[in-house]
Chains A and B, each alone.
Chain A
């Protein structure tokens, strides 16, 4: 080695002495290539000399620099250096050395050089026959090397960088992707990315994520089938998700209070954790939500892919999300888990519903949580003995309904709507409805009779119902002939079409019964549970009442005239009938208290000013005020519906 250094120094001095004042780019390119060739031969013959101890890396860098200088001078055109590289098949030579890694270390240098070249050039060189076969060959070698125990972290990262550079070029020219598909089933950049997506090495994992996202969203028809039928991408995504989920607390009992607080805050107002930013890596291990942030970043990645890929790929990811993640992780906990485990699992599901943007993944959560096994259990938990579990579950349903997915509305309400002409007799006009709602809380017990509050409720209802109409537009558009006046004329057809309408599972986009004004009876366990909880307005906690009324309002805001019509009817099972009963109960309970009116007003004023009300009957007064506000909310909804504000 010492002898080599002496010799190298002598060569260096001589080289500088002999260097011509100025050489053309091509001359220097040839010279550098000659150096590279000679260095490789030297290192092959002198095994004690590692390539890292030579100038091979610098010479390779210089080759790329010359190519880029030429490209810049020629404004992106292919020039003599690049032509020389093609004519001499230089990449073939470098890749064949890189594949065998003889002399040792050349593989890493070759990967770095090609990464730099592909990452820098503007030329569309990837399809060139002197480029892509060698890039293909090197990618195949990388795929083989991933599982090789001798492959170092540095090399793995270099392989992913190279893969990323290839994908960058494919993104510019998606048509070239066909050249990287082997036997119609293996898209090399995706295969390599999938292998390393769960890498423990942060940079490698980041690059694998970038590459996988790019591959999955390339506009290349052949890739769709490869991703769905041959790649391991959908399952690899879930493997990473599962591994990160396993790091999270699985039950309330095993979590510290700070984590519970964080989770609770996230479910109400989720902060953005982006897979690209990876803020979780910067958190100290002591940060209670570090693991949660890492998990949510990964969920954001899956969501990104499912939102940007083709419809069929998104479906495949949805299936994998349900079968490999949701079902194995959550089903047992939700159906038969301890209270703590069920509570935690429901909170996580609520978080997913809040976080996900992909309609397919949202449908995945909806279909899983309302499946035959899980759905009834969750609905039953809305009325659980444990208030905490009821609260968590009610919050889940509130958030789920706010995403306006067809499946959730249909499962919870739509499928239980039945056309029933007999209901016609109990239907009320909008005026009758608002009048009855206005009388729910007798005037002497009203605490906020001013017009301002009513106007605010109306504006809120307009916005919420417009949002709901937009959210449901794809699957629930109102019928042209949904006018209540037409109902009598349609009676003859109703019997014939009853079954189709009531099943409400028509995928052709036909108008469903709940999007019409046809007289309906609405039932089902979810509505029954909600109304049952509402009937106990004066005997349960304010938090439960808030959620129950919020869910009912949310359902009424859906663009379902039939549902509103029924709930605002005088049918024995309707919401209005229940509210009438509650009104009677309110009067009876208030009459048993001294100075109820005065105390109510005082109570409201304390609540408004943020002070903690001190009365022993706080829960009663809270319920009365809630009933008053709820009645206004419902009136606003009825008024908006009657005036067709949304449609105008």
Chain B
């Protein structure tokens, strides 16, 4: 991972099975996973994006949607600059729960956090239960960004993350965010180079390691 100008921290929230983890996977790995693997605890992903000529690292925390993990999710709001509040356009109840999620987010996050409302699974138009206009209105009334996505087809996934990043960057330029306060979820990128280890002797198996090295090393 090369160096970057800024680091923006994101959190993805919303009901269980609305596609939070799929959005993250699509954004970071350009993959889609059909099997729903329940997120327990938190998941983590990172990707670079370019905004205004600056390399920006997005560090994204994907959370569990289940009620029983709500207290864990809450502890990740603090220190996030952006949030993707996700619902499933084919399940109205996930839309109905947005108020609670929003309340939770606003209660536990910094007041400047940029929130984008994401109506996911937009590829399933025939099963749609939440009209796009309703989502737009909800977002407008609460001062949120809005987008409909499909983690399956990758439609708008890129935009969901970059639109939010643009907005955060804009706020940063306007001085709304203080990059020196890490509670804002923004950090100025380091001139990072962990460097070579001091005097470490790699005494064994290194030849084998060099010959057989692969990016995805591991023993099993």
Contacts and interface: CB of A to CB of B under 8 A. Distances in A.
Interface of A: 8-9, 11-12, 14-16, 18-26, 28, 30-42, 54-55, 62, 65-66, 69-70, 73-81, 83, 86, 88, 90, 93, 96, 124, 127-133, 173, 175-176, 178-179
Given A70-B194, A127-B41, 17 more contacts: A12-B204, A15-B204, A22-B195, A24-B195, A25-B193, A30-B217, A31-B213, A34-B209, A34-B213, A55-B203, A69-B194, A79-B194, A80-B1, A88-B217, A88-B218, A133-B41, A175-B74
B197 A28 contact: yes
Contacts of A32: 202
A11 B205 contact: yes
Nearest to A7: B204
Nearest to B39: A129
A619 to B, nearest CB: 70
B203 A12 contact: yes
Interface residues of B, number: 45
A73 B190 contact: yes
B194 A78 contact: no
B40 A35 contact: no
B206 A35 contact: yes
Contacts of A12: 201-204, 206
Nearest to A221: B71
Given A37-B218, A62-B200, A93-B220, A83 B190 contact: no
B196 interface: yes
Interface in B31-48: 39-44, 46
Contacts of B213: 30-31, 34
Contacts of B1: 26, 79-80, 83
Nearest to B196: A22
B170 to A, nearest CB: 23
Contacts of B174: none
B42 A127 contact: yes
A175 B75 contact: yes
Nearest to B208: A38
A54 B187 contact: no
Given A37-B219, A65-B197, A75 B190 contact: yes
B59 A77 contact: yes
A8 B217 contact: no
A78 B209 CA distance: 26
Given A65-B197, A175-B72, A132 B187 contact: no
Nearest to B203: A12
Contacts of A41: 219
A35 B203 CA distance: 10
Given A23-B196, A129-B40, A35 B204 contact: yes
Nearest to A132: B41
B100 interface: no
A618 to B, nearest CB: 72
Contacts of A130: 44
Contacts of B89: none
A261 to B, nearest CB: 55
B194 A55 contact: no
Nearest to B209: A34
B196 A124 contact: no
A223 to B, nearest CB: 13
A38 B135 CA distance: 53
22 contacts: A12-B204, A15-B201, A19-B206, A20-B196, A21-B196, A22-B196, A25-B195, A28-B200, A31-B202, A33-B218, A34-B209, A39-B205, A55-B204, A66-B194, A69-B194, A78-B44, A129-B39, A132-B40, A175-B74, A176-B41, A176-B75, A178-B68
Given A127-B42, A129-B42, A93 B219 contact: yes
A79 B43 contact: no
A77 B44 CA distance: 12
Contact of A18 (B193, B210, B212): B210
B59 to A, nearest CB: 6
B190 A35 contact: no
Contacts of A179: 40-41, 72
A128 B197 contact: no
A37 B74 contact: no
A63 to B, nearest CB: 11
A41 B7 CA distance: 38
Contacts of A8: 203-204
